[in-house]
Structure 1
Amino acid sequence: MRGYNKTAIALAGAALLISVSSTGQAFAADNPVSAGACSVAGGRDASNNNLTCNFFGLTPEQFKEAIEAAAKGGAAGATGPLLDRIVDISKTLGVTAGATKTLLRIVGEDANIPDEKLAETLTRVANDYKKLQAVAAALNPANSTAMNLVKQARPEIENGHFELAHELLRQATQTQIAAAEEARRLRDQAQTAEDAEMLGAADSTAAEAEVALTERHYSQAASLFRQAVEYVPPGHEAVHADYMERQANALNAQGDERGDNAALRDAIEIYRQRLVTYPREREPLSWARVQNNLGITLEILGERESGTARLEEAVVAYRSALQEFTRERVPLEWARTQTNLGVTLQRLGERDSGTARLEEAVTAYRTALLERTRERVPIDWALTQNNLGNALLKLGERDSGTARLEQAVAAYRAALQESPREQVPLDWARIQNNLGIALKALGERERGTARLEQAVAAYRAALEESTRQRVPIEWATAQNNLGNALKALGERDSGTARLEQAVTAYRAALEESTRERVPFNWAIIQNNLGEALRMLGEQESGTARLEEAVAVDSAALEERTRERMPFKWAETENNLGRALQALGERERGTARLEQAVAVLRTALEERKREQVPLDWATTQNDLGNALQKLGGLESGTARLEQAVAALHAALEERTRERVPLDWAETQNNLGHALRKLGERENGTARLKEAVKAWDACLTVTSSAWPANKVEAIGAAERDTQAMIARRSGK
C-alpha cells in the first residue's frame, strides 16, 4: 500500500502535487516481524513495518547474478563464489537456502525493478515471508488429517516451495470443510466440533491469502480472505471482523497500486460493513482504525473522481476516528490521522473557490507536528513537512505576495533532509516534484529564469525514481509538471524549442492519466496542453495549433465544470478565451473575438478580485487584449475605451513589486490600446500615455524578454513618438 498522497492541482499552471503521507496505507492489526540480520524500520504510516536487511555490501550486479542463478536452479546450479553468495543471502535473511531461492526468483520475475532496487525489493518480499512463516507456525487445526497437511506445508514454506504450500493448505481447507459437513449431520452432538473445523478452514484459507499477499497477488488474496469470512461460524464476531478488514485492506492495495477503482469501491463497502458488524463499543481503537482506513480509501478514490462527495465522506471518517484516536491515548495514531485529515481537507480546498479548507489543512498538519517531531519520528516528520508545503503552496498561489510560496519551499527542503534518496527513493522523488512546483510558482513572479530552471531540474530528478513502470500515475504527474516549467521558460524564449518540449511532456502524461482512469488529472493536463498549443500557434503562420488548443480546452471543460470546481472552470475558460482571441486575429470577421470577450467576462464571474486577486488581474489583462483587438476592427472607440479600463484595472493588482513581469506585460498591452485610441483622436494625450506605458514596460523587460520582442516594443514606441511629433508640428 502506498505511503503518500497523490495529485493536487496548482491554480496557475495547473501543477499536480504529490502528498507523501499516511493516507495511502491502511493500518494493519498484526505486529511487525524481525529475524536474522534484518531489523524492523518504520517508514510508512501503517502499523505494518518494513524489514530492513544489510546484505554486507553486495553490488546490484552481484545481486542480479544471484537472482539469475536462482531462476536457473538456485544454489544447485551455482558454483564457487556465486554459491557462497546465495548462501550468505540466506544467512542474512535468516531463512533456508530453498526459501532464499524462491524469494530471489519472485524478485527476478518483476522485470520493472531497477538493478539498484533489487536488494530493497528482496527486503520487502522477505518481510512478507517472515509474516507468512509466523502465520503458518500458528496454525493448529483440530482435524488430525488437516494438522498433518499443515505440518507438511510448514517445511514447504520454510524451503520456499510455495506451489506445494498452496496445495497442502488447500487440502487442509478441503479436509476441514469435509469434516465440517460430517459434523453438521451430527449437529446436536458436535456443534462445537463443527465450529472448530470451520474456524480451522478459515484460518488455513487466511494463511493461503497471506501467501498470495507475499506474492503481491492482491485480488487473489482478497478473494481468499472473503472465503475465510464465509467460513467463520456464528458466534465468532471478532474473527469474522478481522478477516473482513483484511479483505478490505487487500482490495485497498489492489486499487491503490494497480489503479483499480472497482476494488476501491468494494473496499469502501466492506469497511462500512465491518463498522456495522463490529461496532465502536465492542473495541473502540479497532473501530477507529477501520474509520481511518475507510477515510484513506475514500480519499484515494475521491482524488480520481470529478466530484467532492467521496472527499467529504473521508473527512467525516477521519473525524470519527479522532474521537477514539485521542492525543492522550495514542499520540502517534492521533498525529497520523490528523495528517490524513489535512490531506483530504487540502484536496477539497483545491476544488473550492475560497481558502477556508486550505487553512484548515495547514492547521491539521501543524497540529500533527506537535507529536510527529523530527527527533521522535524523523521520516513521519518529513512526510508531514511535505504535506504542509503542499497546503502552503496552494495558499501561496492564491496570494498576491510570495511569503507562502517561500514557506512552502522551506518546508520541502526541510522534508528532503530526512528523506534521503537511498533510503526512501519514491518519497524523495515526490518531494522533489512538489519542490519543483513551488520553485516554478516563485519563478513566474520573478524577472530571471533561475527559479524556473531549478524547477525543471527538480522535476527531472523526480522522474529518475518515479518511472512509468514503477508508478505510472506519478510519472504522468511529474511529466505534466515538467511541461508546466518548460512552458513558463518558453514564454520567455524567442524560439519554440521549450514549448515543443512542453507539448511532448503533456502528451506523454496523457498516456497514463486517461479520462477514464483519473478524470480530474486528465482535465488538468488537457488545460495545460491547450495553453502550450496556443503559445506555439501564436508563433506559427497557420491556425492548426490554435484550433487544436480550442478543442483541447473545450474537452477539459467537460470535466472542469463550474458546478464541480468553479476556480478550475474559470482558469480553463480564461485559456479558451485566449485561444479564441488568437484565432480571431487571423480571421476576417469578428466572431471569434466576440466569443473571446464573452468567455473572458464569464470567467470573471468566478475569478473575483477579493478571492483570487492575481487571477482576476490576469483575466482583466486578457479581456483588455481581446477588446483592443476587437476595437481595432471597428470604427468607433467604445471597445478601445473598455480595453484601457480593463488593463488599468489589471494593474491595480499586477503591481511591479508583486509580479514585475506580469506588470510589464500589462503595461505593454496598455501601450497598444492607447496607441489605437490615439490614432482615432486629434490630440496627442493618448499617444503620450502609450509611450509612457512602453517606457515602463522596458524598465523591466529589456533584460528579461527575448530581443525580438523588446525590439518590437521599441519600434512601436519610436513610431508613436514620430506621430506625436507630426501632430505637434515638430
Structure 2
Amino acid sequence: MDWMAIKEHGINALGNGLASFFVAAAIGLLIYGLYKIHFLAWVAKGLGWFLRALDTALEKLVWVTGVSEKKRLRRWGQFIAVFVLLTLLGAFIPKPSIALFFVVIALVLILAIYRHWERDENKRLSEIQKGRAISDREDLTQEMLAALGLLLFFIPLGFARLGEMIVFLSGDTPTHGLESAWYVWGELLKAVPLVDWSEVFGVPNLSGVEAQGKTGASLTFVMRVMFDLLILAGLIRIISIIRSINSGHDIRNLEEGLKSDDETKIEAAITKLGELAGQERRNALSHLFEITNGTRSDGKLKTHKWREKSARSLVDAANKLTIWTNDLSNLDNFLLGIEAYKTAAQYLEPHDPIYWATIQNELGIASVNLSELTVDHERLKQAEYFYLKALKIRSNEKEELVKDWANTQNNLGFCLYLQGSSLGSKDIIERALSALEQSLTERDEEKNSLGWAQTKHNVALALLKIGELTAKDAYLIDAVSSCHAALQIRKIDIYPDLWVASRTLSADIFCALGIMQNDNKWIEQARTEYSVVSQFYLENSQQRMHALIQNRIATALFHEGTILNNPTLLEQAITKHKEQLDIIKKSTDPLRWASIHNDLGAALWQLGQIRDDKELIVEAKDSFYSTLEVFNEHDSPSAWAQAQQNLGNSLALLASDIDGLKRALSAYEAALKVRVIESSPSSWAHTMLYYGLTLSEAWKTTHEKKYLKQALNVLESISDWHAQNNNPEGVEAIEQMLIQLNVDN
C-alpha cells in the first residue's frame, strides 16, 4: 500500500474542501459587513418597494379580466371576452409590432390572474389556519388553470408574429409553419422535469427547433422564467392544494357543495363537515356554527332542515372533541366542544327537548372533565346547572326516560361530590349523597349492574368525604360496604380500569378509618390494597399512575409511623415521597406535585417532632411553601387550607419570638377562612385547636391580655363543639387546657 500516494490524495481533497470553505467564509463575512453598514437593508427595502409596486399594479389590472367578479357567469363571460379580443388583435392586426403589443398585454394579464389566485389561496390558507369558515369566496383554481393554458397559447402566437419581423428559430418540424408551437413545447418539456436536467445533460430542444442569435436566447430566457414563475409554481401549488383537500384541511369542495341548490350535495357536505369537525378541523366546525346559527354570509341554508342537521353534526363533533385527556394538550378542543354543545342546544331546545336534555347532560360531563383538567372549580357549578336543566326534561315519572333520569342523577351526585370535596363543604356532600340515592332507586343491580356499580362507587366516595369532614367513622364503615358492593360487579378480568378505581377507593377508606380510629390495623389493610393496585399499574406499564399509588403508600406509612411513633416508617414515607417528586414534575402535573409536597412536609414535620430536629421542621416548612405555590384559596380551597394548617404547625414549632408566632397565627387564620364549622366541622375543630395552643404560647411570650382572651374564646368554642357532638373525651381534654391557662393567668 502506497501511504505517500494516499497522503497526497488526502491532502489534495482536504485542500479543495478548505478552499471552498474559506471562499464561503469570505462571502459570509462580506454579506455580514454589508448588513452591518445597512447596505443590504437598503437593497432589500428598494427591492421590496419595487415588488410591492409591481404587485399592486397587477392587482389593479386583474379587474379587466373579470376574475375578481363574485358571480361565476359574469366572471367567465368577461374572462372569455377579454382574451378572445386580445387573441383577435394579436393574430390578425397586420402590423406585427402592434400585434405583439396586445400579446404582451395578454401575458401581463395572465400574470395578474396568477397573482390574484395566489393571493386568494394565501388568504384561504390563513383562514383555514385560524379555523374560520369560508362561505363568501370563490375558488379561482379553474380560472388560474385556464390562464396557464392561455400562456401556452399566447407565447407561440407572439413568437409567430415576431418571426414575421426577424428569424430567431431554426430546425425542421413534422408540420411546416408550426415551429413556434413545437419550440415552446420542446422548451417546456426541458423545463418541467426537475428544471435543470436539460442544462446539466446538454439536452437540446426536444422538438428539433432551436432558438438562434441573441434575440432567440433572450426570448427563451424570458419564456423559461415565465414557465418557472407560473407553470411550475402553479403546478406545485395545485399539488399542495390537492394534498390539503385530501387531508381534510382544505374544504373548498364541501364549501361549493353548500352553495349548490342540490340537496344531495348539501346533505353530503354537512355530514362530511361533521366528520371533519370531530377530527379537529376548525374551519369545518366554523361552517357548522354558521349553519346552525343561520348566519352564513351568503344567506343560504337557513331552513330548519339544514340547521337541525348541522346542530346534530355539532353534537357528534363535540362528543369527539371533549374526550378526556390527562393534560392540557386537549384544552382548546374541550372549549370548542363545549361551545358546539351550547350552540346545538340553543337551536334544538324548542324542536327536540328530549335530545336537548341529552346535550345538557353531555355539557355537564364535559364541564366536570374540564374542571379536573384546568382546576377551575367554577366549571363544577356550571356542570351542576347543566344537569339540573337536563332533569327538567328527564323525569322518573316517564317510563321511557327513567334510565336517563337515573344517569343524570348519578352525574349530578358525582359533580356535587367534587364541589363539596374542593370546598370542604358537608352540606354539598350531603346533597351529592341525596342525588346518588335518588339514582339508586332506579338503577337496579340485575337490570343495570354496571350503572348500579358506578353509583355505588360514587356513594362510597361521598361517604368517605363526609366521614372525614364530620370525623364520624360510621360514614366510613358504610363507605366500605358501598365500595365492596361495586367491586362485586367491577371484576378485574371484565372491567380492569373500573376495578382498579374501586380497589384504590377501598384502600383510601381503610386509611381514613385508621387515621380516625388511631388504629394501625386499618392502615396495614390500606397498604395491602395499595400494593395490589400498584402492581396492577406496574404490570400495565402505567408509570404515572404507579407513581401516584406509591405516593399513597408513602402517606399510609406516614400515618402508620405517626400512630406507632415509629421514625423508621416515617423515614420510609419521606424516601418514597421524594422518589415520586423525581417523576411528578411541577411543569407537567402541578396539582399532584403540590399534593406530594404537602404529604412530604407532613412526614418531615412528624419525624422532626419525634427527633426534636429543627432542620427537619425547616425542611417541612419549605415543602409546605412549595405546596402553596400551586394551591390557592379560590381554585383549591380545601387543599390550600390544609397546607396553611400544616405551615402554621411548622412555623409555631420554629418560632423563637412573637414575630414567629404571629406568622404561625396568620397561617391558621388563613386556613380558618375555608375551614368553617358549618361546612367542615371536624377540620375546623382541628385547626382551631392548634390556633388556640399557639395563642396560648403568644400569651406566655408577651403576657398581652389580648392573646389570653383569644385563646380562651377559641378553646371554649372547641369545648362547646365537642359537647354538642357527644364527645366527652374531647371536652375533658379542652377543659384541662382551659384550667392550665387560668392557672398561668
Please, what TM-score do these two structures have when normalized by structure 1? 0.59
After TM superposition, give the deviation of residue 401 of structure 1 in Å: 3.2
After TM superposition, give the deviation of residue 488 of structure 1 in Å: 0.6
Match of 1:579 among 685, 689, 694: 694
Q: Deviations over 1:412-460 (max 9, x none)?
A: 2222222228633443343233322221111012243111112223323
In structure 1, how many angstroms separate the alpha carbons of the residues matched to 2:496 and 2:736?
46
Residue aligning to 1:202: 311
SS in 2 for 1:260: coil
Q: In the superposition, relative to structure 1, how do residues 552 and 101 fare at CA in structure 2: closer, same or farther (>3 Å)?
A: farther
After TM superposition, give the deviation of residue 335 of structure 1 in Å: 1.5
- Counterpart residue type for residue 196 of structure 1: K
SS in 2 for 1:328: coil
In structure 1, how many angstroms separate the alpha carbons of the residues matched to 2:246 and 2:506?
42
Aligned residue pairs total 485
Q: Is the CA contact (8 Å cut-off) linking 1:399 and 1:612 kept in structure 2?
A: no
After TM superposition, give the deviation of residue 616 of structure 1 in Å: 7.1
After TM superposition, give the deviation of residue 376 of structure 1 in Å: 3.4
Residue aligning to 2:394: 278
Trace 1:716-727 onto structure 2 (pairs within 5 A).
none
In structure 2, how many angstroms separate the alpha carbons of the residues matched to 1:490 and 1:389?
27
Q: In the superposition, relative to structure 1, how do residues 172 and 586 fare at CA in structure 2: closer, same or farther (>3 Å)?
A: closer
Q: Is the CA contact (8 Å cut-off) linking 1:369 and 1:381 kept in structure 2?
A: yes
In structure 2, how many angstroms separate the alpha carbons of the residues matched to 1:568 and 1:174?
50
Q: How much is the aligned-residue C-alpha RMSD, in angstroms?
A: 3.8
Residue aligning to 1:456: 574
After TM superposition, give the deviation of residue 544 of structure 1 in Å: 2.2
After TM superposition, give the deviation of residue 267 of structure 1 in Å: 1.7
In structure 2, how many angstroms separate the alpha carbons of the residues matched to 1:395 and 1:349?
9
Trace 1:13-162 onto structure 2 (pairs within 5 A).
143-147=263-267, 149-150=269-270, 153=273, 162=281
In structure 2, how many angstroms separate the alpha carbons of the residues matched to 1:613 and 1:384?
36
SS in 2 for 1:444: helix
Residue aligning to 1:558: 673
Residue aligning to 2:504: 386
Q: Does residue 567 of the first structure (1) align with residue 682 of the second (2)?
A: yes
After TM superposition, give the deviation of residue 340 of structure 1 in Å: 0.8
Larger Rg: 2
Residue aligning to 2:368: 252
Q: In the superposition, relative to structure 1, how do residues 509 and 382 fare at CA in structure 2: closer, same or farther (>3 Å)?
A: same
- Counterpart residue type for residue 517 of structure 1: D
- Counterpart residue type for residue 382 of structure 2: D
Q: Deviations over 1:326-385 (max 9, x none)?
A: 211122222121111100111111111422222221111121122223343333222212
Which structure: greater helix fraction? 2
In structure 1, how many angstroms separate the alpha carbons of the residues matched to 2:525 and 2:481?
14
Residue aligning to 1:468: 586
Which range moved further: 521-530 or 406-415? Answer: 406-415
In structure 1, how many angstroms separate the alpha carbons of the residues matched to 2:495 and 2:298?
50
After TM superposition, give the deviation of residue 143 of structure 1 in Å: 3.6
Q: Is the CA contact (8 Å cut-off) linking 1:343 and 1:387 kept in structure 2?
A: yes
Trace 1:373-452 onto structure 2 (pairs within 5 A).
373-420=491-538, 423-452=541-570
Q: In the superposition, relative to structure 1, how do residues 196 and 558 fare at CA in structure 2: closer, same or farther (>3 Å)?
A: same
Q: In the superposition, relative to structure 1, how do residues 469 and 619 fare at CA in structure 2: closer, same or farther (>3 Å)?
A: farther
Q: Is the CA contact (8 Å cut-off) linking 2:270 and 2:310 kept in structure 1?
A: no
Trace 1:287-366 onto structure 2 (pairs within 5 A).
287-366=405-484
Q: Does residue 507 of the first structure (1) align with residue 625 of the second (2)?
A: yes
Q: In the superposition, relative to structure 1, how do residues 102 and 588 fare at CA in structure 2: closer, same or farther (>3 Å)?
A: farther
Q: Is the CA contact (8 Å cut-off) linking 1:291 and 1:317 kept in structure 2?
A: yes
- Counterpart residue type for residue 581 of structure 2: L
Q: Is the CA contact (8 Å cut-off) linking 2:394 and 2:402 kept in structure 1?
A: no
After TM superposition, give the deviation of residue 167 of structure 1 in Å: 4.9
Q: Deviations over 1:235-273 (max 9, x none)?
A: 534432332222222222222211223322122111111
In structure 2, how many angstroms separate the alpha carbons of the residues matched to 1:420 and 1:150?
45
Q: In the superposition, relative to structure 1, how do residues 374 and 205 fare at CA in structure 2: closer, same or farther (>3 Å)?
A: closer
Q: In the superposition, relative to structure 1, how do residues 422 and 207 fare at CA in structure 2: closer, same or farther (>3 Å)?
A: same
Residue aligning to 1:219: 335
Q: In the superposition, relative to structure 1, how do residues 165 and 222 fare at CA in structure 2: closer, same or farther (>3 Å)?
A: same
Q: In the superposition, relative to structure 1, how do residues 575 and 393 fare at CA in structure 2: closer, same or farther (>3 Å)?
A: same
SS in 2 for 1:289: helix
SS in 1 for 2:702: coil
After TM superposition, give the deviation of residue 324 of structure 1 in Å: 2.7
In structure 2, how many angstroms separate the alpha carbons of the residues matched to 1:172 and 1:210?
19
- Counterpart residue type for residue 204 of structure 1: S
Q: Is the CA contact (8 Å cut-off) linking 1:146 and 1:176 kept in structure 2?
A: no
Q: Deviations over 1:115-151 (max 9, x none)?
A: xxxxxxxxxxxxxxxxxxxxxxxxxx99445335347
Q: In the superposition, relative to structure 1, how do residues 610 and 445 fare at CA in structure 2: closer, same or farther (>3 Å)?
A: farther
Q: Deviations over 1:42-96 (max 9, x none)?
A: xxxxxxxxxxxxxxxxxxxxxxxxxxxxx9xxxxxxxxxxxxxxxxxxxxxxxx9
Q: Is the CA contact (8 Å cut-off) linking 1:99 and 1:157 kept in structure 2?
A: no
Residue aligning to 1:165: 284
In structure 2, how many angstroms separate the alpha carbons of the residues matched to 1:406 and 1:337?
27
Q: In the superposition, relative to structure 1, how do residues 265 and 143 fare at CA in structure 2: closer, same or farther (>3 Å)?
A: farther
Unaligned regions of 5+ residues in structure 1, if any?
1-70, 72-95, 104-140, 184-193, 635-730
In structure 2, how many angstroms separate the alpha carbons of the residues matched to 1:568 and 1:198?
53
Residue aligning to 1:520: 638
In structure 2, how many angstroms separate the alpha carbons of the residues matched to 1:99 and 1:374?
45
SS in 2 for 1:512: coil
- Counterpart residue type for residue 243 of structure 1: I
After TM superposition, give the deviation of residue 514 of structure 1 in Å: 0.9
Q: Is the CA contact (8 Å cut-off) linking 1:254 and 1:263 kept in structure 2?
A: yes
After TM superposition, give the deviation of residue 174 of structure 1 in Å: 7.0
- Counterpart residue type for residue 213 of structure 1: T
Match of 2:596 among 478, 484, 492: 478
In structure 2, how many angstroms separate the alpha carbons of the residues matched to 1:294 and 1:336?
13
- Counterpart residue type for residue 413 of structure 1: S
- Counterpart residue type for residue 369 of structure 1: L
- Counterpart residue type for residue 315 of structure 2: A
Q: Is the CA contact (8 Å cut-off) linking 1:202 and 1:227 kept in structure 2?
A: yes
Q: In the superposition, relative to structure 1, how do residues 151 and 525 fare at CA in structure 2: closer, same or farther (>3 Å)?
A: closer
In structure 1, how many angstroms separate the alpha carbons of the residues matched to 2:688 and 2:245?
59
Residue aligning to 1:648: none
Q: Deviations over 1:186-205 (max 9, x none)?
A: xxxxxxxx543232121233
After TM superposition, give the deviation of residue 234 of structure 1 in Å: 4.4
In structure 2, how many angstroms separate the alpha carbons of the residues matched to 1:383 and 1:524?
25
After TM superposition, give the deviation of residue 397 of structure 1 in Å: 1.7
Q: In the superposition, relative to structure 1, how do residues 165 and 345 fare at CA in structure 2: closer, same or farther (>3 Å)?
A: same
In structure 1, how many angstroms separate the alpha carbons of the residues matched to 2:283 and 2:388?
36
In structure 2, how many angstroms separate the alpha carbons of the residues matched to 1:261 and 1:202?
28
In structure 2, how many angstroms separate the alpha carbons of the residues matched to 1:353 and 1:175?
56
| Greater relative contact order (Cα < 8 A, sep 6+) | 1
Q: Is the CA contact (8 Å cut-off) linking 2:440 and 2:455 kept in structure 1?
A: yes
Residue aligning to 2:89: none
Please, what TM-score do these two structures have when normalized by structure 2? 0.58
Percent identity among equivalent residues? 23
